[in-house]
Amino acid sequence: MDIKREKGEGISKFQFGGDVVWRPSAQVIARSRLKNFMDAYGIGGLEELHRRSTEEIEWFWNAVLKELKIEFYEPYERVLDSSRGIAWTRWCCGGKMNVVHNCLDKWRGTPVGGKEAVRWEGENGETRVLTYEELNRSVCRIANALRALGIKKGVSVALFMPMMPESVAALLAVAKVGGIILPLFSGYGAAAVTERLRDSGARFLLTVDGFYRRGQSVLVKPVVDAALVSATSVEHVLVLRQLGTPISWCPGRDRWWHEAVDCQSDDGETERTDAEDPLMIIYTSGTTGSPKGALHTHCGFPIKAAQDMVHGLDVCQEDVLYWVTDMGWMMGPWEIFGTMLLGATMVLYEGALDFPGPDRLWSLIERHRVSILGVSPTLIRSLMPYGTVPADQHELSSLRILGSTGEPWNPDPWLWFFHTAGKGRLPIVNYSGGTEVSGGLVVGNVLSPLKPCAFAGPVPGIAADVVNEEGTSLRGEVGELVVRKPWIGMTRGFWNDPERYFQTYWSRFPDVWVHGDWAVVDEDGLWYILGRSDDTIKIAGKRLGPAEVESVLVGHPAVSEAAAIGVPDPIKGEALVCFCVLKPGIQVSERLREELRTRVSEQLGKPLKPEVLRFLNDLPKTRNAKIMRRIIRAAYLKQEPGDLSALENPYSVEAVRKAL
């Protein structure tokens, strides 16, 4: 994606360059699940599919449920009901189904039952594999232990665990008994855990004594103890012994996992829940205010996850999918529910992907024969300084699809990933949406020609559009990403705060979901996401997306990562401030600083030349590698940074302050 700004224009006008770098072969097209889906309904192309999927909503989601072979205890009467308003649409009305029946129960006695469901590797090299049948027995034992402790339908259960087989089993066990899953990021501090436990009213918490990170023991139980001083709703804590390190104990509240679970029967009944019963609350941090608890249901989040895997990533039963994520981020449950509804295999890894060496990611692919790999652009930027040798040392021929999510790409890292991991032969399926939408709003696929950084378009069933400030559709110009029709994965609201949900997404335009991203559609119909609209910088009346500036900076051979923010300026309204992480061996100099500032002004326009450019060793990022620009801005302005619970590297905030 070569972005060029037309003279005198702001963010509203772009010219997109860049050539198509990948086209599907006849073989890829023929085996594509998306193509087979269209053929089954006599649909001639993607444009027709998008039209029918958003105009004939009941037909489309009926077809998706049939494609995914979703089984109901009692059939639904209507696919959807928007009588309370589009923001409060209900799905599979009158139907009874539990997602665990579709993930595990229905596979019993079938060939899938003997297949590998989970392949896990720890940072210390330990590996474990569970088949669907073995995982089902583990889920039943945990579910029976939870029932023995008094859990029942509608009770919230928190999971404060890293990526490991027991985490998968625990998540499914909570759903099996009809509980509400509350997944928490394994790197949270006590305050973040407390806030989410108190808001959700969770009564149970499943955790571990600790885990390994970069060769060091990270204790989790002390965080739990500190959090529960104020989160008094929690009655029981199950602790999995992972490290074997001595930990504090609260008699009557705390129980060892093995003592409560191992004695249970490995068979158990699955609760017959309504299709719209609560399944999960996933908290997502906003720019301001307290974290938002997005509520999802049995027929919502899992169905959307599996549909996106089929129509975007072309996941089949024989695939082995590894997505770099955490259990507390949306993509953790997304990977679990999606792969298991499809009868595929997931790979989990707990640890740092450049430890003990920079080839850890590539070695995982080789060892576990990963066929679909999902990463974030920031992860790839962090691996680029090591060069291509770590990847070249490993056999990556098992890969057939590359995926990405989390934030916008810059062209250079995208092309590096395309050529290093895929050898120029594999598509990178871009995927962008969020926690509140259960997956993607826009996505790539294996049927569309591919340009760097682009999306093929909206996910089938998503009536996405790009609009100006009046809500009018735009093409070839940057605007707000919106959705005009309901879809099955949309959150059913924010937990305990329906008004905040409505104000956040539905209040700007009548019956239109405003997602909060800048997007553009080019002359070939390809889509691009340019970053959060609340990150927008406005300089002398010209609106500027951070991704534009960061792409220019990362395009310089000395820069590996960059972040751009706007700060108050008495004359221009806002001034542009940039931070760069240099590649190994590159020395900081005033000459390089001025060269980078000039590069931005030459490519984006003289009025947009950065006022300040500083060099850092690291940028504040989340565990799933999103750059936290609001925290950078707060540090620069010496303001309170707000919620830091998602930060993987808190020291980086002080580094920003010191750089000034």
List for the chain the helix, strand, coil content (%; round to 5).
Answer: 35, 25, 40
Measure the CA dihedral 353/358/361/367, to 10°.
-120
Residue 660 pLDDT greater than 80, yes or no: no
Q: Residue 86 in contact with residue 511, Cβ under 8 Å?
A: yes
State pTM to two decimals. Answer: 0.87
* Burial tier of 45 (Cβ tally within 10 Å: 0-12, 13-18, 19+): exposed
Q: How many residues appear in the chain?
A: 660
Tokens representing 59 are 């037909």
Name which of 3-12, 67-76, 408-417 the model is least confident about: 3-12
Mean pLDDT of the chain: 92
Q: Kindly tell me if the per-residue pLDDT of 498 is higher than 60.
A: yes
Burial class (CB in 10 A: 0-12, 13-18, 19+), 284: middle
pLDDT above 90 for 191:
no
Give the pairing of strands 292-297 and 320-323. Answer: unpaired
pLDDT over threshold 70, residue 288: no
Strand partners, 574: 568
Residue 493: which region, alpha, beta or left (left: phi > 0; alpha: psi -120 to 50)?
A: left
Count of other CB atoms within 10 angstroms of residue 98: 26
The answer to which of 4-18, 102-116, 302-316, 403-417 has the lowest mean pLDDT is: 4-18
pLDDT of residue 644: 67
- Give the model's pLDDT for residue 12: 40
pLDDT in tens, 259-284: 999 999 999 999 999 999 999 999 98
The pLDDT of residue 449: 96
Distance CA 554, CA 560 (A): 6
Whether residue 5 has pLDDT greater than 60: no
The runs of H, that is alpha helices, within 276-352 are 301-311, 331-342
**pLDDT score for 190:** 87
Task: Calculate mean pLDDT across residues 210-226.
Answer: 94
pLDDT at 3: 45
Q: Which of 462, 463, 466 has its CA nearest to residue 475?
A: 466
For residues 534-552, average pLDDT? 77
Across the range 590-598, mean pLDDT stands at 96
Q: Give the residue-averaged pLDDT of 535-550.
A: 76
Which residues neighbour 438 within 8 Å (Cβ) at sequence distance 6 or greater?
A: 296, 300, 301, 304, 305, 330, 334, 488, 489, 490, 491
Predicted confidence at residue 621, as pLDDT, reads 81
Tell me what pLDDT residue 169 has: 98
Question: Does position 201 have pLDDT exceeding 90, yes or no?
Answer: yes
Q: Hey, what are 376's tokens?
A: 């974030």
* Mean pLDDT (whole number) for 178-191: 91
- Decide if pLDDT at 14 tops 70: no
| Inter-residue contact 466 to 432 (CB < 8 Å) | no
| Cis ω for the linkage preceding 356 (within 30 of 0) | yes
d(CA 40, CA 32): 12
Above pLDDT 90, what percent of the chain? 78
Using alpha carbons, select from 251, 259, 157 the residue that is nearest to residue 207: 157
Q: What are phi and psi of 530, to 5 degrees?
A: -110, 5
- The CA-atom distances, in angstroms, between 122 and each of 83, 211, 353 are 49, 9, 11
Q: What is the pLDDT of residue 543?
A: 65
- For residue 643, pLDDT over 70 is answered with no
Q: What are the angstrom distances between the C-alpha of 635 and each of 188, 238, 256, 629, 630?
A: 20, 38, 42, 10, 9
pLDDT at 623: 63
- Is the pLDDT at 627 greater than 90? The verdict is no
- Contacts of 546 by beta carbon, 8 Å cutoff, 6+ apart: 531, 535, 537, 563, 564, 565, 629
pLDDT bin (cut points 50, 70, 90) of residue 571 is confident
Could you tell me the pLDDT band of residue 287, with boundaries at 50, 70 and 90?
very low
Q: What is the pLDDT of residue 167?
A: 98
**H or E element: which one contains 502?**
helix 498-505
In angstroms, rounded to a whole number, what is the distance separating the alpha carbons of residues 169 and 139? 5
- For residue 158, report the phi and psi dihedrals to the nearest 5 degrees: -90, 140
Domains and CATH numbers, the chain: 14-102+300-531 (3.40.50.12780), 103-261 (3.40.50.980), 536-659 (3.30.300.30)
Phi-psi region of 94 (alpha: psi -120 to 50; beta: other; left: phi over 0): left
pLDDT for 546: 83
What pLDDT was estimated at residue 541? Answer: 62
Mean pLDDT, residues 117-143 taken together? 97
pLDDT at position 97: 98
Task: Read off φ and ψ for residue 494, nearest 5 degrees.
Answer: -90, 135
Nearest to 28 by CA among 532, 401, 564, 490: 401
Average the pLDDT over each of 195-209, 226-240, 475-489, 571-585 and give the range with the smallest value: 571-585
Three-state DSSP at 40 gives helix
Q: What is the dihedral of CA 311, 437, 317, 32, to 10 degrees?
A: 10
436-468 burial, b if ≥16 CB within 10 A, otherwise e? bbbbbbbbbbbbbebbbbbbbbbbbbbbbbbbe
Taking a C-beta distance cutoff of 8 angstroms, is the pair 362, 387 a contact? no
Q: What is the per-residue pLDDT for 544?
A: 73
